[in-house]
A and B are shown apart, each in its own frame.
Chain A
């Protein structure tokens, strides 16, 4: 099974709201990723967690706050977002060792900030 699940599928939030996106995988992967994708563009990396520790932050604004509670779960906490943050937010996971590093993506959460 190569499934990564994400909830919710769609989210509409105001600029003063606080919300969270959730991601889950049961492939035993120890690296998990958050990407942001705007229309007609490739995904842009936001954060990488390796063994539940943040290993890469691509200079993402602090209104996005990632969390990795355990090896299967990844959250993205959202606060005081701007309309330009509206996008498809993708979670992905991969192995860390073993020489096979392909990333598997979830279906995404489509976020609209009003």
Chain B
């Protein structure tokens, strides 16, 4: 079993839809959670960063972390064709030998069609 599980999709939605992307994880030491957007043949772009449990909102994006369930989500409201990309969840533990090591999900391919 992978440490981080992410449904690879692909996910196809109409413009304006609410998109929900999710990851589950097994390592209870993870405390830092990130979502990245990666366009084809480009580097990952940091969308959201959350420490421990809770919600964080930035424009059309909301990140949720539920450490008790080991489950994180990214919601995209009013999705646009420009949101079409691969979305990667990533997480890391706090210090020690795991310092600096991000564990990624496999990525979800999202297509928003006009």
- Do B106 and A108 touch across chains, with their CB atoms under 8 A apart? no
Name B89's closest neighbour in chain A (CB-CB): A42
Produce 1/0 per residue, A30-51, CB < 8 A to B.
Answer: 0101000000111101001010
- Do B106 and A42 touch across chains, with their CB atoms under 8 A apart? yes
Q: Say if the beta carbon of A106 comes within 8 Å of chain B.
A: yes
Return the contact of B104 from the options A42, A56, A106 (Cβ within 8 A).
Answer: A42
- Do B99 and A55 touch across chains, with their CB atoms under 8 A apart? yes
- Do A45 and B101 touch across chains, with their CB atoms under 8 A apart? yes
User: How distant is the Cα of A2 from the Cα of B44 in the complex, in angstroms?
Assistant: 13
6 tightest CB-CB pairs across the interface, nearest first? A42-B104, A102-B49, A105-B43, A48-B100, A107-B43, A108-B43
The chain A residues found within 8 Å of chain B, CB to CB, are 2, 4, 6, 31, 33, 40-43, 45, 48, 50, 55-56, 88, 90, 94, 99-108, 110
- Beyond the given A48-B99, A56-B99, A105-B46, please list 5 additional residue pairs across the A-B interface where CB-CB is below 8 A: A42-B105, A45-B102, A100-B51, A102-B46, A105-B43
